[in-house]
Structure 1
Amino acid sequence: MKILVGMSGGIDSSVAAWLLKQQGYEVIGATMSIWKEGTPYNGPAGNSCYQPETQEELAEIQEICRKIGIPHVVVDCQDMYEDIVLKNFRAEYLAGRTPNPCVWCNSKIKFGALIDFARKSGIEFDKFATGHYARVDFDKKTGRYRLRRAVDLHKDQTYFLHRLTQEQLSSVIFPLGDMLKKDVRKIDEEQGFHAVGQEESQDFYCGDYTDLLGVVPGKGNIIDRQGTVMGTHTGVWNYTIGQRKGLGIASDRPLYVVELRPGSNEVVVGHEEDTLHTRVVIEDLSWSAVAALDTPRECVARIRSASNPQMAMVSPGEDNTLVISFTGAVKAATPGQSLVVYDGDTVLCGGIISSAR
């Protein structure tokens, strides 16, 4: 069997490729090229997914592939990344929402365009693999593939993968899904792929997000929930729901961003209790282990990648939405972010948060 492995040059994808090679598969390493020349960048080098690509970094990936004993190819995904991920990123921020570009990149680019472009370029393979921490199996009772949380829950990445379709799940392999990160790092060090203590990419983009928005600062008011002007700002896109730092407002109690109003260019602030929500509505649904939910169902849900799943009742809403009623309050459910619904360790569905109260 031939397996194409998405390789970023990091520890996880390197070990994933090595493991598959050790298991006797014919492995090909593939790296996405997503950076367009001329895009401004002010962040540190080597610490984010989206940053200028250098010949040195490409040479490092090629050297890892040489050590593993596999060929390596570069797949140009620059235009698709611009059209899908960055345009969504800009549109959401300017609409006062906080997007998650990694979710869209995985579903549309890494597990979409990369595979399509590789095949169109003449590369033949049967399965696609990455170094993500997740598991996939097939449920004979439902006839659907299931995306399941990784054994290492601290590294679990199903939140970022929840929009993968049944077709995508049917042809994907996650070699690290049953492993602990410490064991993956040990293999990496033993094979000499990276220096001991190698850092990993931490964010989508380490520069100033306004680099990617192409906007001119515009002065607006920071107001409280009663409409009293508390201060000023230079653009709602500089803020996100739940933000406390960087407001520049003196107050007896800590203030948090509780609402963004791009139409009037206003940032609304309140106290911590104003950031708590028990009812969240999601739209732009993506179904995984189930094709739909016709009746209310008790599940667990995550409102961000770093949060623990919380008990909730998930019910069908109007206009193809789902209403998630949490048993206890969750903090700062943010429009534009993804909410993922689980049954135990299995992803049922997910969607984009449209409102919360």
Structure 2
Amino acid sequence: MTADDHVLARTEGHAGRLTLDRPRALNALTHPMVRRLDAALAAWERDPAVRTVVLDGAGDRGLCAGGDIRAIHDDVRAGGGTASAAFWRDEYRLNARIARYPKPYVALMDGIVMGGGVGVSAHGSVRIVTERSRVAMPETGIGFAPDVGGTFLLSRAPGELGTHLGLTGTAVGAADALLCGLADHFVPAAALPALIAELATDPADEVLSRHVRPAPPGRLAADREWIDACYAAPTVEEIVERLLDHGAPAAKEAAGTLLGRSPTSLKVTLAALRSARGLDSLEAVLEQEFRVSCAALSSPDLVEGIRAQVVDKDRNPRWNPARLADVTEEDVARFFAPDAAFGADRPLFGTDVPAPPGERPSME
């Protein structure tokens, strides 16, 4: 590891170990970290001695809080966003590599797993949550939209659960992450050290059989009635109206959350989620997300949202436009156009991309 890549990459027995190592920043991803992860995965893919890859995060707070959004804020203000677009190009390619990785990729989604943390974990073939897990795509709160393949994952959650999570940015625990297809197995946090040690010698499926337990109850299953009824509406305005009219306290709470989010981000996110349902591969969704993300670099809400949340921390963003009614269809369509400004008119993936993800690799 170099001074700036903040990834511990090593082998233990037959396991390749990747540890995100920025605990003071809750392991937020930087461009050097993305490149280091990708290089390690490429090397281990060709190494027959490595049978399993294990990803975790340093510290006791979580796997990863997302990308380094302060760096994005500073880049847009000082450099126009070019470095951020380059970061996303490599990050989204890494997400696709993880999704089609030919060896078991065991992601330990313990603690906080948000944004880019979801991207490096929830596309893996073995996704483990614990009683401490808090999984979220909170981008609309900073004037952005779910990326790193988040719209691919959320658009395939049961009913309208993914729409609810994508628009509100709500963090979910283990059972709800399992329900939404963001994770595969529950393992108590206290068992993770033993699980990691055993993966160095034993096949992943055997290790899982010894440690997987039933998850504590979640809450989304009980909320499906109002979530599916309200979020099936065709527009964000009507979703908010249905939530306010429904009667369930949680529905009104969700409406209040939405009314505090970036109006532009809400409309772009809804359009992205609906579009992602019709795209047949993660790669196709990542191409769409790259266009959306690059367009956000020239939108006032991204810098303003990050300013309010992590720079000045006044928690009082001044969105522009400030009302849902003032965000036009043309405003939304601009985010999906292949703009050449940041290379969003060039594909992320060549014609030699492997088959889209679907079949999980064998855990042998």
Larger Rg: 1
User: In which range does the TM-score fall when normalised by the shorter chain?
Assistant: under 0.3
TM-score by length of 1: 0.25
What TM-score, normalized by structure 2, do the two folds share?
A: 0.25
